[in-house]
A and B are shown apart, each in its own frame.
Chain A
Amino acid sequence: MRINFKVIISSILLSLSHSAFAQMNIFACEPEYAALAKELAPEASIYSATTAMQDPHQVQARPSLIAKMRRADLVVCAGAELEIGWLPMLQMKAANANVRSTDKGLFFAADHVETLDQLDFVDRSMGDVHTQGNPHLHFSPTRMLTIAQALTNKLIQLEPQNSARYQQHFASFSERWQAASKQWQQRASQLQGMKVIAYHSSFRYLFDFAGIEQVADLEPKPGLAPTSSHLTKLLHRANEGDIDTIIVASYQDPRGAKWLADKADLPVLVLPFSVGGNKQSGDLFSLYDSVLTLLTQAHTAQQAS
């Protein structure tokens, strides 16, 4: 009885999806994945649920997002529980079975790469951390290439008739990305050994890639806003004199950083967290370029002084 029911449903879904394939609707949780989708499926209609000015941990499961997910053929998110506070609610309200399972039209980037800082044990007293590791993957050039390949496979799975086209888009992206990665690697090597105080573990992969050391975090615990007692502790650390700059992401409140910067006589660097985080970052390539340029400028200025 149940099998029959499923057969009926899947045949209905199949007939529906064929008519919807005129233009694929892609729902991206974060702008970096909207940008990646644009590289790999430029013909699709792509919507990003958040901007680079918004904290991807804290998003309202708002009506517009439910409506967009209702119509989505593919949902692309960072995963590793980054969106756990809002994605499940959207999935439940959008009543779109096509994008509920990673077997179908749901794609989690973190499923396809090794994340950093995975934890065996998580307790809320540790702050808002997750066992699956740091989900802010998009500043790792090698991981992004792996994710691009996996996303291409997902696109082909959903639209096998367009396989050749997606392969072509990926080949083009891969070539450009690898060429750019070489340049980025070169520029990043000059940042090696740079020491920073940063906000959250937002740039964990960038620092990993560039050999930058985050010696302290503006957040006392992940997800908690800076407190005055914690900032005082950071000031002591900053007074040791080895820190180049204080880094905050485009969506983070710079006030704590500015206070510390004033007291410790350090510059504050606001880095675009994602595509659209500043004027220069129009796509993934220019995002990397802009971030590396800003870091290099800060590093050079600090060395000169």
Chain B
Amino acid sequence: MKNLPVFAARLAAQRPVPNVKNAILMSALLPLFAHAQAPTLSNPAVSVVLDGYYQSDDRVMTERAKGFGLGGTELALSASIDDMFYGKFTSVFEFHEGESEILVEEAFMQTMALPNGFTVRAGRFLSDIGYLNNQHLHTDAFTSRPSAYRAFLGGHYFDDGIRLSYIAPTDMYWLLGAEAFAGKNLRAADESAEREYSSTGVYTAFTKIGGDIGIESSWQFGLSYMRNENGQLTTLAEHEDEHHEDEHSAGHDEHGHGHAAAYTGKHTYIADFVYKWAPNGNYKYQHLTLSAEYFRVADFFTLAEHEHSDHDDHHGEEANYTQDYHQAWYVSGVYQFTPHWSAGLRYGKLASHVQHDDHFEPQTLKETELSIAWHNSHFSTVRFELSHQSNLGFEHANNENVITLQYVMTLGAHSAHQF
């Protein structure tokens, strides 16, 4: 039997700290609100998203804590810089246990005039992998992202890097893209405290196709791959780090708000599909959105070389009791039945592995969410959500039913939504 040591799987999370520079920057930007009524070419679009909630209990790996709280309160500025470049800046104000933080979620420039359907985006931005990831949280139909996103991408994955995308001149929509990121939020734990991480840790490649079926239906299908150089846990450490026992699994970092992924691996594969329907293709009154995504995070740990050779004979036995991948999926349906009311139902399942002493133990998390939302206009939503969860192997999550009340309001520029 191989002896895998316990390690403190703390995340190499980059905890955002309130930053004096940020505060100065923000206060310098605020006077721009005076011009927010009529964004013009010479005037950047300014928008604010207000998100407040009450939640009856804690949920596994979510950013919202029990009780009253504020979600991500967003301030965004965007404009064409000149005929070649577009720029966007999005800051998110977060509040956790009495502390305020300012995060820069987006600060990127994008080319607007490259020929032949090429676009380059650089800076900090949301990765285009999967379906939901490049969408802003405030456009979601549920209060939290599916467990797949919370577990593998820290809710939604934004990072510092560069993207090249290409849209083919085909009759059917066909997008190809590749990204490279620093990947600090997706680093596996540094159990030895001596690990040397690659500074460019994450590479992605994705493709999306899509089209219409008649006048009433539209669809999109995507495949994504993410390679994470720093995503594997190594099991080098031989000592037991007792005082870290209570947080010996990343998966137990339930109140983590650093946007770091709880589970990482070397290879992540994502398949996503979305289908939208509206009577006569008219989205004013009723419309339906069905979406589903599947995530597989493979090679989440690697054996130290010397151990590997020492215990080579037992390797087969090892493989018997643990799979070397995590996986998660969800299906979601949201129906807007009048301009004022919509309802959504989502089911998701996460199957992950957590390290206990000398072995990995499987965990599962099943969540069913029912969401009912009232929209007074495009700009205001009040949501009631009932979430039922059952889990195996997560320690601090005994509550089965959680009720969340939430409002999401947008002020300022009318931002165009993605499909």
Chain A residues with CB under 8 Å of chain B are 6, 9, 12-13, 16, 50-51, 53-55, 57-64, 66-67, 70-71, 84-89, 92-97, 100-101, 121-124, 127-128, 131, 223-225, 251-253
A252 to B110, CA, bound (A): 38
- Shortest B334–chain A CB gap in Å is 13
The reply to whether A89 and B281 contact each other, CB–CB distance below 8 Å, is: no
Bound together, the chains give a CA A55 to CA B279 distance in angstroms of: 12
Chain B 68-87, CB-CB to A under 8 Å as 1, else 0, gives 00000000000000011010
Task: Identify which of A58, A62, A96 contacts B284 (C-beta below 8 A).
Answer: A58
* Complex interface: chain B residues within 8 A of A95 (CB): 114, 117-119, 165, 167
CA distance A53 to B219 in the complex (A): 20
- Name the interface residues of B5-36: CB closer than 8 Å to any CB of A: none
Q: Which of B110, B211, B280, B414 contacts A67 (CB 8 A)?
A: B211
Residue of A nearest to B166 (CB): A95
A269 to B110, CA, bound (A): 48
**What CA separation (Å) do A51 and B280 show in the bound complex?**
9
Contact B280 A89 (CB under 8 A): no
User: A66 — which chain B residues lie within 8 A by C-beta?
Assistant: 167, 173
Q: Which 7 A-B pairs have the closest CB atoms?
A: A63-B210, A63-B173, A89-B416, A55-B284, A97-B113, A67-B173, A53-B280
Closest to A223 in B: B377
The answer to whether the Cβ of B321 comes within 8 Å of any Cβ in the partner chain is no
Which of A62, A85, A101, A253 makes the CB contact (< 8 A) with B276?
A: A62
| Closest-CB distance, A30 to chain B (whole angstroms) | 13
Closest Cβ of chain A to B411, distance in Å, is 8
Q: Does B218 have its Cβ within 8 Å of any Cβ on chain A?
A: yes
Q: How far is the CA of A70 from the CA of B113 in the complex (A)?
A: 12
CA distance A1 to B168 in the complex (A): 29
B402 at the interface (CB under 8 A from A): no
**Is the CB of B100 closer than 8 A to any CB of chain A?**
no
Shortest distance from the beta carbon of B68 to any chain A beta carbon, whole Å: 26
- Bound-state Cα–Cα, A71 to B211, Å: 15
Are B167 and A89 touching (Cβ within 8 A)? no
Complex: A224 Cα to B44 Cα, angstroms: 27
Chain A residues near B316 (CB-CB < 8 A): none
Q: Does B244 make an interface contact (CB < 8 A)?
A: no
Q: B122 contacts the other chain (Cβ, under 8 Å)?
A: no
Q: Which residues of A contact B338 (CB under 8 A)?
A: 225
Known contacts A58-B283, A71-B169; 16 additional CB pairs below 8 A are A12-B115, A53-B282, A54-B282, A55-B282, A57-B284, A60-B417, A61-B419, A62-B218, A63-B208, A64-B172, A66-B167, A86-B416, A122-B37, A224-B376, A251-B280, A252-B284
Pair A225/B340 contact, Cβ less than 8 Å: yes
Q: Report whether A124 and B379 are in contact in the complex, using a CB–CB cutoff of 8 Å.
A: yes
- Chain B residues lying within 8 Å of A70, measured Cβ to Cβ, are 117, 167-169
Contacts of A85 in B (CB 8 A): 378, 414, 416-417
Bound CA span A97–B118, Å: 10
On whether the beta carbons of B210 and A223 are closer than 8 Å, the reply is no
A94 and B167 contact, Cβ closer than 8 Å, known pairs A55-B282, A55-B283: yes
Are the C-beta atoms of B212 and A97 separated by less than 8 Å?
Answer: no
Q: With both chains docked as a complex, state the minimum distance between the C-beta of B41 and any C-beta of chain A, in angstroms.
A: 10
Task: Tell me if B418 is interfacial: C-beta within 8 Å of chain A.
Answer: yes
Using a Cβ–Cβ cut-off of 8 Å, how many residues does chain B contribute to the interface with A?
A: 52
Alpha-carbon distance A81/B113, docked complex (angstroms): 22
**Distance of B132 from chain A, by nearest CB (Å):** 16
Greatest chain A CB density within 10 A among B114, B208, B418 is at B418
A8 to B112, CA, bound (A): 15
| Beta-carbon contact of A59 and B171 below 8 Å | no
Q: Is the CB of B218 within 8 A of A89?
A: no
Q: Which residues of A contact B210 (CB under 8 A)?
A: 62-64, 67
Residue B220 at the chain A interface, CB threshold 8 Å: yes
CB pair B113 A51 closer than 8 Å: no
Residues of chain A lying within 8 A (CB to CB) of residue B116: 12, 16
**Minimal beta-carbon separation of B220 from chain A (angstroms):** 5
- What residues of B have a CB within 8 angstroms of the CB of A223 in the complex? 377-378
With A55-B282, A67-B211, A87-B416 known as contacts, the answer to whether A60 contacts B220 (CB < 8 A) is no
Whether B339 sits at the interface, judged by CB under 8 Å, is yes
Q: How far is the CB of B294 from chain A (nearest CB, A)?
A: 20
Question: What would 27 A/B residue contacts be, using CB atoms closer than 8 Å?
Answer: A9-B114, A9-B115, A53-B280, A54-B282, A54-B283, A59-B283, A62-B218, A62-B220, A62-B419, A63-B209, A63-B219, A63-B220, A63-B419, A67-B171, A67-B211, A85-B417, A86-B416, A87-B416, A93-B418, A94-B167, A95-B167, A97-B114, A122-B37, A122-B38, A128-B378, A225-B339, A251-B280
Residue on B with the closest CB to A127? B377
Smallest distance from the beta carbon of A91 to chain B beta carbons, Å?
Answer: 8
In the complex, chain B residues 347-399 whose Cβ is within 8 Å of any chain A Cβ: 376-379
Q: Which residues of chain B have C-beta atoms less than 8 A from A253's C-beta?
A: 284-285
B170 CB to closest chain A CB (Å) equals 7
Contact between A51 and B167, CB atoms less than 8 A apart: no
Chain A min CB distance to B122 (Å):
15
Min CB distance B289 to A, Å, is: 10
A128 to B418, CA, bound (A): 20
Complex: A88 Cα to B215 Cα, angstroms: 22
How far in angstroms is the closest Cβ of chain B from A77?
13
At the interface, yes or no: B174 with Cβ under 8 Å from chain A?
Answer: yes
Q: How far is the CA of A131 from the CA of B38 in the complex (A)?
A: 7
Compute how far the CA of A54 lies from the CA of B218 in the bound complex, rounded to whole angstroms.
14
Nearest CB in chain A: distance from B264 CB, A: 30
Residue ID in chain A nearest B78 by CB atoms? A88
Instruction: Give the Cβ gap from A150 to chain B, nearest Cβ, in Å.
Output: 20
Residues of B within 8 A of A86 (CB): 416-417
User: How far apart sit A70 and B169, CA to CA, in the bound complex (Å)?
Assistant: 6
Residue from B114, B170, B276 in contact with A60 in the complex, judged by beta carbons closer than 8 Å: B276
Query: A61 to B118, Cβ gap below 8 A?
Result: no
CA distance A187 to B379 in the complex (A): 42
Contact A96:B117 (CB < 8 A) given known A64-B210, A251-B282: yes
Which residues of chain B are within 8 angstroms of A96 by Cβ–Cβ distance?
117
